[in-house]
Amino acid sequence: MAMPPASPLRPRSAPPASPLTRPPHAPSASRGSRLARGLLAILALVLAPLTPREIVAQVDPSLSWRTLRTEHFRVHFSPGLDSVARRAAGSAERAWGRLAAELHEPRGPVDLVVADNVDYTNGNATVFPSNRITIFARPVVDASSLRFLDDWIDLAVSHELTHIFHLDRSRGWWRLGQYVFGRNPFLFPGLYTPSWLDEGVAVYFETKLTGAGRIAGTDHYSIVRAQVLDGVAPALTAISQATPRWPGGNQVYAYGSLLVDYEARRRAGGMRDFIERTAGRTIPFLLNTNARAAFGMGFDSALVAFTDSVRRAALAVGATTAHDLTATGWSTERLRWLDAGHLRYANDDARDVTALRDVDVTDGATRWVERRNSLDVTTTLRDGARLFTQLDFIDPYTLRGDLYLERGGETTRLTDGARLTQADVFQPAGARASAVVAVQLEPGTARLVRLNVEGGRAGPVERLTAASIDTLWSEPRWSHDGTRIAAARWRRGGTQDIVVLDAVTGRIVQSVGASRAVVVSPAWSAGDTAIFFTSDRSGRSALYRASLANGALSLVASSATALIESEPSPDGTRLATTQLRGDGAHVAIVPLGAGTRADSTSVLPAGHNDPVVVAGDSARAYRPWRTLLPTYWLPAYQQTDDAKPMYGFITSGTDVVGRHAWTLQTTYSPDHQEPSYDFSYAYAGLKNPLLGVASTEEWDHFALFDPKSAGSSNPVRVGTLARRKVITDLALTLQRPRLRSNSSLSVGAEFEYRDFRTDPSALIARMDPGYSRSYTYPAFFVSAGFSNVKFPALAISYEDGVQLAASARTRWRSDSASGTHSNSVVAVASAFKALDFAGFAHHVIAVRAAAGWENSNAPTDFNAGGTSGSQLSVIPGVVLGDGRRTFGVRGFAGDAQYGSQALGGSFEYRAPLGLPNGGLWNTPLFFRSLSAIAFADAATAWCPAGTAPSAACPLGPTPRDWLASAGAELDLDAALEYDVPYRFRLGVAQPVAGRKYTGATGPALFFALGLSF
């Protein structure tokens, strides 16, 4: 299921510079980074679901999970979720039966995980490494596109199961390849189709199976209608979750679902035919060819025809004129009047992070007030303090909503893990305490609660309504006299209404506006004689008024697109609302007149599902081993250090809740007859810390020459010395994620074993006796990272924060005299400052400094030079990009200098250029944005005076000469397979110092991937 548009629930801060969660900026300074690479491989290859392209949250693997078995599913659930899991199991089996009548059945069974560790509505599905679904037991109480439903569990399960039916399907040589390579992620044709198609198919069946959902509702039509009327409707190649044109990628769901529905209505059986054709097509992204054969019309033509029909229908409907106050849209919610001339609202404009803003209703001038983690309501108290709820982590896996108080620039968290949202405040005249009513989330449901806040403390949370999986409460509002509370209520079957409750007892006093439609956003009129609310019963979201005297309904205002909120002004002459436009929701004003009479009928379709609950025997304890087994393998090709080929394979596994994860790569060199391997394992069952183990076997080769030919122009090679290294790492990482910062601390130990052999083997006896022995090197390392940078939706760079990383390592040689050991330390600091200049995103000044030191016994050196970036594995063994460099200098070779000490720094000015916002025909490549960078790099690596020859300094002391360059880059932010983001950099660097370390005197062109830091 989708997250709401531009949801602030996604973390807005970059990950910490931790060896176990290595972001692009972290240094690789110690052997501990070997463990980092192993764990990163696990996370990238296994834990991140490849399909569908949705925001994915990690469930808490440390909980006492249980498993319920049905005919087609293994349902895994965490404590307290037995009833939700049984409802999910029943919905899943029913959905399976209905989908099996429409599409080819997937290979089962399917693992269905029901979790409740995050306070936002979401779900995900993946076909790799096996068919798996996760739904989070937070019901829908805020996402506008998801509020027309009969049963939120039924909707979520039907949607995600459709992904499994659709994307598991493989035919022809794709299926043949899977017979050989297993569930290889490269061999699912559905993974090469765009996200709008994947989500369009899932939303289409979500509605067909349940009778409700997003196609039956009005939100998706409103999005398309708004863009069509504003002349910004996208071409097919511009519909991507990576788009910068619509909040949160929800454009994918809107256009995808309605376009698929438009095509499916053209020909009976067309959906099955289309999916079967795509599953067997050699080039799966030839979508128009498949669509013409299945539906009789290609998607490009269908999009033009569909949007034309939407335009004609929109122009034929009259509507009240709403006056927009804000110039930009994106995500705007939770309007409140400050006074007769100003409105306060939560906003994510994509250029900045989510914040509280004010707007002047006279001239539309906006003012930034305060940063927020969530798009939720803020109430301003009489003394200027502000009460609000927002999300934050309470442990590495648990994200909860709590009540906060901001006074005098200081913010205090009033509750801890209370799971509160949508708080409204009543402050009686002269009273010291404020009464708060809020929605409290519980497993599978949402109820109303109240509490008192006095000073900087909150009282106990008291229940107002009962918790039931068949009834959801949302958006409570105090009456002006504080005696009653109005709230939106959803009941199973899709009936929604506005309910008036007694503020003390929670007893229901009255219900108004009931309809099988979305009925939300209640607000009291002056004098508490009527309630304004929003409903889409007419086919588009509009503003209504319900008289409390007789329940009579009036249509107050409507729009050609949609009006989403209703907030009457203090003088009762205007309504503040949010109006949907082509770039998202704008704050708008409509005059408040008498309105026209309305009734409770709804044009939205009726549902047809009753709850199905799986009963029977008790669930058993969760067993991870079945889903931890490998399901695929990838062929691997590498080269030895002397350019000999190595052949092998890669495989991995993770259990469905992510408690265990492992990856293995093993290769063999026929020329040297040497095996190598790289193995990593992560255990998350402790919650915090994360336990990681990595082991590697690798070989180095050195040519041996006849001493008699030493010094000649043609020395005689007599053999090869091979050095084998087996290195095992163990690390514990403490994690402290927050939505505004992220930090971690890792400690670990390493054990390295070395031995030697020669070819021919007889040479070993005639060489140094030391080569006949084996050696061990125990080591200890520690690393830490911190980051509090921002990264808005349209940003071209990290902004307004710092990233800090440091690591230290001590290594002993077991056969050496006491005290013989090597030490190394590396520290990196980066800072970013956003500048509010013209452009679709902020301009950014970025600076970075790095330092490294190791003693004379260190076995490796620091390198200065090279272009820093990231790597892209095209296929196993074929990699683009040079990867991260701690002391990079663009325009120089990566090993231009080396030594036991190093310094480096960079300065960059990053500026936005434009938004291509389009794909390359029907290939899985999407061009998102262009930016430019002017940079200056400098670094040096040297061996200080008095240094004896060593592995790090084979020539003894070397001068501390600086390498420096200046230049510019053109950066393209793109998305591979339509949604996976990548940055491609093309630049020119002019060396300005240290030219003797490069063979050229002129500028050097370079290509790189990812941010430089």
DSSP secondary structure, 501-551, as one string:
EETTT--EEEEEEEESS-EEEEEEPGGGSEEEEEE-TTSS-EEEEEETTT-
Q: Does residue 30 have a pLDDT over 60?
A: no
For residue 454, give every residue at least 6 positions away whose Cβ sits within 8 Å of its Cβ, in sequence order, or none: 432, 433, 434
Cis bond upstream, residue 769 (ω within 30): no
What does the alpha-carbon distance between residue 630 and residue 649 come to, in Å, rounded to a whole number? 12
What is the pLDDT at residue 601? Answer: 77
DSSP class of residue 46?
A: I
Q: What share of the chain is helix, strand, coil (3-state, %, to 5)?
A: 15, 40, 40
More confident residue, 618 or 20: 618
What is the maximum alpha-carbon separation in the chain? 111
Place of tokens 């041996």: 704
Q: Counting every residue, how long is the chain?
A: 1013
Q: Crossing angle of helices 195-210/152-167, nearest 10°?
A: 130
Let me know how many helices (H) and strands (E) the chain has, helices first.
12, 53
What is the pLDDT at residue 34? Answer: 39
Phi, psi of 997 (to 5 degrees): -90, 0
What is the pLDDT at residue 705? Answer: 80
Q: How many CB atoms lie within 10 A of CB 618?
A: 7
Which candidate, 102, 114, 221, 216, places its Cα nearest to that of 162? 102
* Radius of gyration of the chain from its Cα atoms, rounded to whole angstroms: 31
Asked whether 194 and 978 are in contact (CB, 8 A), the reply is: yes
* Mean pLDDT (whole number) for 843-867: 92
866 Ramachandran zone, left/alpha/beta (phi>0; psi -120 to 50): left
What is the pLDDT at residue 689? Answer: 94
More confident residue, 709 or 859: 859
What does the alpha-carbon distance between residue 786 and residue 725 come to, in Å, rounded to a whole number? 33
- Which ranges of 538-685 does DSSP label H, i.e. alpha helix? 625-628
What does the alpha-carbon distance between residue 378 and residue 587 come to, in Å, rounded to a whole number? 16
> What is the dihedral angle through the alpha carbons of 123, 127, 128, 132, rounded to the nearest 10 degrees?
50
Residue 890, both tokens: 């663009």
For residue 256, give every residue at least 6 positions away whose Cβ sits within 8 Å of its Cβ, in sequence order, or none: 195, 196, 197, 198, 199, 200, 201, 203, 239
For residue 375, give every residue at least 6 positions away whose Cβ sits within 8 Å of its Cβ, in sequence order, or none: 4, 6, 7, 8, 331, 333, 334, 346, 347, 348, 354
Cis bond upstream, residue 876 (ω within 30): no
Q: Strand 110-115 and strand 73-77: pairing?
A: parallel
Asked whether 297 and 291 are in contact (CB, 8 A), the reply is: yes
Task: Please report, for residues 137, 283, 706, the alpha-carbon distance to residue 291 in angstroms, rounded to integers and kept in the order given.
Answer: 36, 14, 70
Residue 499, both tokens: 């309910």
Lowest average pLDDT, out of 549-553, 802-806, 950-954, 968-972, goes to: 950-954
Extended strands (E) in 813-842: 821-835
What does the alpha-carbon distance between residue 663 and residue 845 come to, in Å, rounded to a whole number? 39
* Mean pLDDT (whole number) for 178-199: 92
What is the pLDDT at residue 608? Answer: 61
More confident residue, 710 or 272: 272
Q: Does residue 49 have a pLDDT over 70?
A: no
Lowest average pLDDT, out of 92-106, 524-538, 993-1007, goes to: 993-1007
What is the pLDDT at residue 6? Answer: 29
Q: Does residue 537 have a pLDDT over 70?
A: yes
Rounded percentage of the chain residues whose pLDDT exceeds 90: 70
Cα first-last separation, the chain: 33
Burial class (CB in 10 A: 0-12, 13-18, 19+), 980: middle
What does the alpha-carbon distance between residue 865 and residue 890 come to, in Å, rounded to a whole number? 7
Identity of the amino acid at 175: R
Q: What is the pLDDT of residues 377-434, one digit of tens each?
A: 999 998 889 999 999 999 999 999 999 999 988 999 999 999 999 999 999 887 888 9
Q: How confident is the model at residue 39 (pLDDT cuts 50, 70, 90)?
A: very low
Q: What is the mean pLDDT of the chain?
A: 88
* Mean pLDDT (whole number) for 822-829: 94
Asked whether 481 and 528 are in contact (CB, 8 A), the reply is: yes
Q: Does residue 668 have a pLDDT over 70?
A: yes
Rounded percentage of the chain residues whose pLDDT exceeds 70: 91
* Mean pLDDT (whole number) for 178-185: 94
Q: Report residue 740 CA to chain centroid gap.
A: 15
Place of tokens 């109240």: 450
More confident residue, 73 or 980: 73
What does the alpha-carbon distance between residue 674 and residue 698 come to, in Å, rounded to a whole number? 9
